[in-house]
């Protein structure tokens, strides 16, 4: 079997710990279970990458604002934030695994995530 490696797929996940990363891509979508809009930011360094979803909900806004501030973009009241502004920005993130109960099966699942956003 041959397995093709597409552009940007030549890196593994970042190991646990704090990393300085660059946001290299943004994908937008809607959550599978509650139809909440989100964007996923791909964050890379020479050591690997992590992809993190940010939900556009009341509970998600403080985390989104922390991300933008760490990336050097100051949110302003009454002005929309554009996710494309994040591409090319550098910041520091804490990478670790997070476990949760799958809403459909109830089984425990684990995802690699980025938290603790700070200016690089």
Average pLDDT score over the chain:
92
Which segments of the chain have a pLDDT < 50?
none
Q: What does the pLDDT read at residue 8? A: 61
Q: What does the pLDDT read at residue 102? A: 78
Class for the domain spanning 17-119:
mainly beta
Checking DSSP bridges between strand 17-30 and strand 48-55, what pairing results, if any? unpaired
Distance CA 34, CA 107 (A): 18
Q: What does the pLDDT read at residue 10? A: 73
From first CA to last CA, the distance across the chain in angstroms is 41
Q: What does the pLDDT read at residue 45? A: 96
Convert 96-116 into a string of H (helix), E (strand) and C (coil): EEEEEECCCCCCEEEEEEEEE
Q: Is the dihedral of CA 38, 79, 20, 23 positive or negative?
A: positive
């Amino acid at each position: 079997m041959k397995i093709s490696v597409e552009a940007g797929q030549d890196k593994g996940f970042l190991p646990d710990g704090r990393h300085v990363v660059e946001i290299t891509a943004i994908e937008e979508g809607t959550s599978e279970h509650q139809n909440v809009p989100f964007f996923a930011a791909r964050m890379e360094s020479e050591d690997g990458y992590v992809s993190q979803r940010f939900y556009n909900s009341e509970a998600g806004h403080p985390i989104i604002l922390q991300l933008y501030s760490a990336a050097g973009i100051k949110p302003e009241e009454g002005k929309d934030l554009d996710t494309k502004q994040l591409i090319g920005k550098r910041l520091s993130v804490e990478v670790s695994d997070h476990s949760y109960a799958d809403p459909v099966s109830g089984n425990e699942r684990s995802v690699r995530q980025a938290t603790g956003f700070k200016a690089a």
